[in-house]
Structure 1
Amino acid sequence: MSDHASFWDERRYQAVRSKDARFDGEFFFAVSSTGIYCRPSCPAVTPKRSNVRFYPSAAAAQGAGYRACRRCRPDAVPGSAEWNVRADLVGRAMRLIADGVVDREGVTGLAARLGYSTRQVHRQLTEELGAGPVALARAQRAHTARILLQTTDLPVTETAFAAGFASVRRFNETIREVYACTPSALRDRPRANRGGGEATGVPLRLAHRAPYDARQIFDFLQRRAIPGIEEVTGPPGHRRYRRTLRLPHGTGVAEVREPDPAARRHGAWLESRLHLTDPRDLSTAVQRLRRLFDLDADPHAVAGHLAADPRLGPAVTARPGIRSPGAADGEELAVRAVLGQQISVPAAARLAAVLVAAYGKPLPAPDGTLTHLFPDAATLAGAPLDELGMPDSRRRTLRTLAAALADGTVRLDPGADRDDTERALLALPGLGPWTAGYIRMRALGDPDVFLPSDAGVRHGLAALGAGPDAAEGWRPWRSYALHHLWNHTI
């Protein structure tokens, strides 16, 4: 082992000794004497250093023959914040695998989306994560299967295919290898929170790293909620955000609850529930919620950098855990960004509601105030849009964007190249730097976007006594600095 690797392994062991939850999902450790692997914050007695091995992914630990700890559930940790930051092949591949692309399209489909050969994709993932795309997708399928087994009454056979397995035999083998028990035994263990399938949905705990400023993100979503596809109900501290989802195999309705700051100030998850027409969409729906609520961020890395700025630092200290909300649907977010050009946030929400009522696809049955899916790009590309009462130039921009999304000229899937996408957006008539940047920040989850022409940003900078050039010192976390500026003026 090199001196460099030994140094980092010692740092990791110190994190394990201190049960440091900040590193959950960043690495995993396995214990050779017990044959299990854990998250760094596992509450069990710390093993001897000589018995500990470190792995960059759960799939790598599973590939080495270790089974998941039943106490700390290492498969349920937040994702590594590194994949939010990185725009290279490995970062893009990890986002696509999490979205279920390997299950739907295979490794060939993953490589085609990335623009590389399957051999190159496998080599780079294995070098950095100790596992190839098939093993990484398999680890995710095992986690999905555990959720379905322990929270629904789906028959075991249906659970296997819903989790993405091609056969019941492979499903059984994987569960035994990962959890050291049969699917039936895994189902029998926890009986709390067991749901009844579609009638009650799938209850979930969406893990994140604390601190998490839930009030900020629920405020952000509430101000922008579009009637028909979104709603936010309840008083602050007890709100429920609900929205419809267009998914690869069907549709869904997601609910996420705002944690009560008095009851669980430092909680490490958001309570959620998913109602899906097809359970095969579970992993994809979870990942879209994670992106929307920015649950894989590393708040300590962000705050540690931004707080060093003497002007921005006090705002960062005053509002720990601020997030940069992403999007549940990239194409929807892009259309909403165009609708919001040069008008207020409430006006943009009202305009979007008109668009949804005119061109959205109705749900088979309304779910409270949720009645539609957001209109798809192909529909909007050929729509007259007369109902919107917008200038002709704006309607043309909206149709042009929709056509580019429909024919693939502009890609907004989790594996899209951010620079290529921004260039493609700027090449469309009527789309300027603010719109392209806003789409890049939210639809593609880029943590390093700044919008100097935004009115709220200008006011925030003025309140701090800073100019736009100050943002250069905030890289690579300018998106989070932007949200601090917006909140500074509210």
Structure 2
Amino acid sequence: MELDDDAAYEVLKARDARFDGRLFVGVTSTGIYCRPVCRVRIPKRENCRFFGTPAQAEASSFRPCLKCRPEVAPGPGHAWSTMDASRTLARQAAHWLDGRVGDGGVPSIAALAERLGVSDRHLRRIFLAEHGVTPLQYLQTRRLLLSKQLLTDTRLPVTAVALASGFMSVRRFNAAFAESYRMSPSALRRETDTDAPATEAVVVHLGLRPPYDHAALLKFLAARAVPGVEAVAGACIRRSVRAGVLGDMAGWLEAEFLVDRPLVRVRFAPELSPVSGRLLATVRRWLDLDADPATIDLALADLPGAPGQRLPGSVDAFEMAVRAVLGQQVTVAAARTLARRLVDRFGQPAASPWPEIDRTFPSPEVLASAPVESVAELGIIRARAGAIAALAEAWPRLSARMRTERSPEPLIADLCDLPGIGPWTAHYIAMRATGWPDAFPPKDVAVLNAMKALFGATTPREAERLAERWQPWRAYAVLRLWNSLSTSP
């Protein structure tokens, strides 16, 4: 959504939350940049400069506001949300960088360009055109903002914050922080001191763009929560995280919607603090915090449903894929029962603050080495047990496909090459494991029934043709269609 400066100033005066995370204002009289929802006094028009990203503001020597905290703002939206190929590639590149904020070192932009199927030079050019900064400037800003968030919200030692934010040494971290923010990390810690002890759970906050129908999302996840691994309680969702999902350590996390503010409070095990950046990016995708509800709701205006619907993602893509196989041609409750049996037999014990979270989901390595008979004897028909084994064996290749940031078609093709996995299952995995907003599982019975009732569609081909009007948001349309029947797979 492009705005000229006069329109952007009107957004600022209205404190319009629809533009939170997509518009930032730098105030020349203070040298500080803010979100459009900041509650401080509105600056004079002549003192305002407007930016599309924090990286642009910081490249122009503005510092982030300590009150509205730009690091908490929701992201700009889905990489696939524009039909312009160059802008899509630039957003996909930014999404890839977001997932590597805490990894340390300097990522290879040439390798990223190759993954996206373009030249290094072309990627740098379109990235600069879309984001106003180079890829490495963008990454540096993301790392600094993550460090600011961890310094403000947690009691992690400065050394741990530096490493979790992707800085290879405390010296480099201190220098970069002081150069950009004109204060040391320790000074920021003193200014925004929190009483949270360093030995307790790590707690951070993530922003979202309202409206957000968190009740519908929690209902969807609660119906599919695997006992022992995941549970929904009130406005919270809690789960274990097996080793290998975010890093070498297992742990737990909790996400709680703050119903009086557009925030999610995220708590997680201290053992996961070294991968804080990856964890927070995962939570954003899991709960679809960066979606643009105004755009999506407008595109789906001819479908029933409350505003602010979100696309439920996943923390563990392998777990999501296995559960999709278990859900073939059975009810949600039956699939949940089968998943619990699989967890009881092949999962690992897990420690968490909650007695109902006591196991981790089995790893690909464990299920790849398990005899098919030992899976089938859990009540899982042999064909699906074989599909799970094939999925587990192919997971190194499939997980690489999920990280390419390109269109999911190659992933879907690879999944369909596996025994026991057809187009519906492949699209469902792409929809929830990668957050693909345009997924449209073919020949979905519930979707067909809903489209027949709403639009008179009688065949899958007719339904797919009618669904073209909802691109690139067909996955959200699928959720609305399922909900219209009060049933979903």
Fold in common (TM above 0.5): yes
2-side partners of 1:120 and 1:404: how far apart? Answer: 32
Distance 1:412-1:147 versus aligned 2 partners, 3 A rule:
same
For residue 331 of structure 2, the aligned residue among 344, 360, 365 is 344
| Alignment-derived partner of residue 360 in structure 1 | 347
Paired residues of 1:249 and 1:280 also in contact (CA < 8 A): no
Q: 1:398 to 1:268 in 2, by over 3 A?
A: same
Residue 290 (structure 2) aligned to one of 290, 296, 301: 296
Instruction: Measure the CA separation in 1 of the matches of 2:296 and 2:101.
Output: 29
Equivalent residues of 1:30, 1:54 under 8 A apart? yes
Which residue in the other structure is 1:255 paired with? Answer: 254
Q: What's the CA shift for 1:351?
A: 1.0
SS of 2:358's equivalent?
strand
Aligned length: 468
- Residues 215 and 258 of structure 1 are in contact (CA less than 8 Å); yes or no, is this contact kept in structure 2? no
The answer to whether the Cα contact below 8 Å between 1:327 and 1:442 also exists between their aligned partners in 2 is yes
In the alignment, the residues of structure 1 paired with residue 128 and residue 354 of structure 2 have an alpha-carbon distance, to the nearest angstrom, of 44
Residue 106 of structure 1 aligns to a residue whose secondary structure is: coil
Partner secondary structure for residue 370 of structure 1: coil
Give unpaired runs (5+ residues) of structure 2.
Answer: 458-462
State the partner residue of 1:17: 13
Whichever residue aligns with residue 286 of structure 2, its letter is L
RMSD: 2.5
Corresponding residue of 1:322: 309
Map 1:272-311 → 2, pairs under 5 A = 272-307=266-301, 309=302
Q: What letter is aligned with 2:391?
A: L
* Residues 5-29 of structure 1 deviation map (CA, whole Å, 9 limit, x = unaligned): 8x63333232122211111111322
Aligned to 2:79: 83
Partners of 2:398 and 2:287 in 1: CA distance: 26
Match of residue 52, structure 1, among 38, 43, 48:
48
SS of residue matched to 1:210: coil
State the alpha-carbon separation in 1 of the partners of residues 398 and 453 from structure 2.
41
Aligned to 1:69: 65
1:251/1:276 contact within 8 Å kept: no
State the Cα distance separating 1:298 from its structure 2 match: 0.7
1:219 deviation in Å? 0.3
* Unpaired runs of at least 5, structure 1: none
- Paired with 1:365 and 1:476, the residues of 2 have a C-alpha distance of 39
Match of 1:167 in 2: 169
SS for the counterpart of 2:315 is coil
SS in structure 2 at match of 1:83: coil
Is the CA contact 1:68–1:178 (under 8 Å) kept in the aligned structure 2? no
Q: Is the 8 A contact 1:330 1:413 kept in 2?
A: no
2:437 paired residue number: 447
* Displacement after TM superposition at 1:57 (Å): 1.6
Shift of 1:158: 2.6
Structure 2 equivalent of residue 181 of structure 1: 183
Secondary structure of the 2:43 match is coil
1:335 aligns to what? 322
Matches of residues 451-490 of structure 1 in structure 2 within 5 Å? 451-467=441-457, 468=463, 469-490=465-486
1:411 is paired with a residue whose SS is helix
Say if 2:159 is the partner of 1:157.
Answer: yes
Deviation at 1:209, TM superposition (A): 0.7
Residues 178 and 367 (structure 1 numbering): CA distance in 2 closer, same or farther, change over 3 Å?
A: farther
Residue 204 of structure 2 is matched in structure 1 by: 204
- What TM-score, normalized by structure 2, do the two folds share? 0.88
Identity %: 39
Task: Measure the CA separation in 1 of the matches of 2:175 and 2:377.
Answer: 55
Equivalent position of 1:122 in the other structure: 124
Structure 1 residues 105 and 393 mapped into 2: Cα distance closer, same or farther (>3 Å)?
farther
Deviations 1:189-240 (A, max 9, x none): 2344x3223x42122222111111111000011000011211123xxxx342
Which 10-residue stretch deviates more, 100-109 or 210-219?
Answer: 100-109
Contact 2:102 2:143 in 1 (8 A): no
| 1:270 aligned residue | 264
Cα deviation 1:7-66 (Å, max 9, x = unaligned): 633332321222111111113221223212121222233333333222232112112211
Contact 1:248 1:281 in 2 (8 A): yes
Contact 2:231 2:357 in 1 (8 A): yes
CA separation of 1:387/1:191 partners in 2, compared to 1, >3 Å: closer, same or farther? farther
Report the Cα distance in structure 2 between the residues aligned to 1:465 and 1:22, rounded to whole angstroms: 31
Q: State the alpha-carbon separation in 1 of the partners of residues 175 and 9 from structure 2.
A: 31
Contact 1:208 1:269 in 2 (8 A): yes
Structure 1 pair 277–210 and aligned structure 2 pair: CA distance change class (3 A) = same
